[in-house]
Amino acid sequence: MALEAVVFQQDLFGYNAKDLYSFFGGSLSYEDKHGFPHHNQANNDYSISSSSPTSMAPPPHFSEATNKGHGSSSNVGDGSAAVETTSTRPKRRRLKTRKNKEEIENQRMTHIAVERNRRRQMNEYLSVLRSLMPESYVQRGDQASITGGAINFVKELEHRVQLLSAKKEVKERSDGSSTSSFAEFFMFPQYSTRPDNNSNESAVADIEVTMVESHANLKIRSKKSPEQLLKLVSGLNSMRLNILHLNVTTVEQTVLYSLSVKVEDDCKLTSVDDIATAVHQLLGRIQEDAMLN
């Protein structure tokens, strides 16, 4: 039986060594499971399987690399072609630098030393503060008792200063001098009855408010009127200003109120001007009620 051969011009470097050997008539001893042809010496025929790499089509790996559009490079040193496909790898995340145990231990020891020094200073200051107060103001030696006793003691000293000032003013008036009662206790009042303050000539009282965080100090100087103190306390509580301390000092028909209040969370008065305005309006209503009665 005669064989007809059809030769296609192809690039020999697109095949590997086994393909070329089979293509030029060499015999291979590979089994069918490898997809290579068997040489039949009797009739010099070749049986080519469907998956044989000796077919005229380009090798599968070459076609796939070409169709996918990946870059390829061939090495011809040993007659074999190698196709390399480039793929983008995800970038590795850099691990966060962790402090070693020595640095962590040094920071911990530094923090302990600073905290120990702070507590030592606090205990020393509390001891000095307790020694400056009478024993009746400090029932226990804990921090809260010492601090609360110090506040009460300062308020008591403030009240004594106001009493001494009132006695001094009464003595000066008896000598014929004209002085304003408790004038030295007002530095920058929001409302003033002094005649030199043209903007607040119609003020019903001298009112000065200072505030630190949620605590406010009020100083009020006005003329005495019936039930004035009771209505003042009731009005401040209705405005959510909780009274913590109250000192009352009178000189003839003039009264000085010194109050420490706690501004509650639901209070609508958030500044010293708001509190001063609300207290001024409250005193105005109290004086109107006194005039009607």
pTM, entire model: 0.56
State pLDDT tens for residues 250-286: 888 889 999 999 999 999 998 999 999 999 999 999 9
Grouping H, G, I as helix, E, B as strand and the rest as coil, residue 15 is coil
19 domain residue, yes or no: yes
Q: 258 forms bridges with which residues in the sheet?
A: 219, 247
Residues 210, 149 within the same domain: no
Structure tokens at 156: 């008591």
Which residues make Cβ contacts (< 8 Å) with residue 185, sequence separation at least 6? 162, 165, 219, 221, 256, 258
118 domain residue, yes or no: yes
Q: Give the model's pLDDT for residue 46.
A: 43
175 domain residue, yes or no: no
96 domain residue, yes or no: no
State pLDDT tens for residues 42-96: 444 444 444 444 444 455 444 444 444 444 444 444 444 444 455 577 666 655 5
Average pLDDT over residues 225-240: 91
Residues 120, 209 within the same domain: no
92 domain residue, yes or no: no
Residues 184, 163 within the same domain: no
Full residue range of the structural domain in which residue 154 is found: 103-167
Instruction: Quote the CA–CA distance of 215 and 219 in Å, as a whole number.
Output: 14
Which residues make Cβ contacts (< 8 Å) with residue 235, sequence separation at least 6? 282, 286
Among 85, 114, 133, the domain-final residue is: 85
State pLDDT tens for residues 4-44: 555 555 554 555 555 555 555 555 444 444 444 444 444 44
pLDDT over 70 percentage in the chain: 62
Q: pLDDT at residue 200 above 80?
A: no
Among 167, 188, 216, the domain-final residue is: 167
Domain count, the chain: 3
**Residue in the structure block whose two tokens are 């002085």:** 179
pLDDT interval class at 206 (50, 70, 90): very high
Q: Give the CATH number for residue 262.
A: 3.30.70.260
97 domain residue, yes or no: no
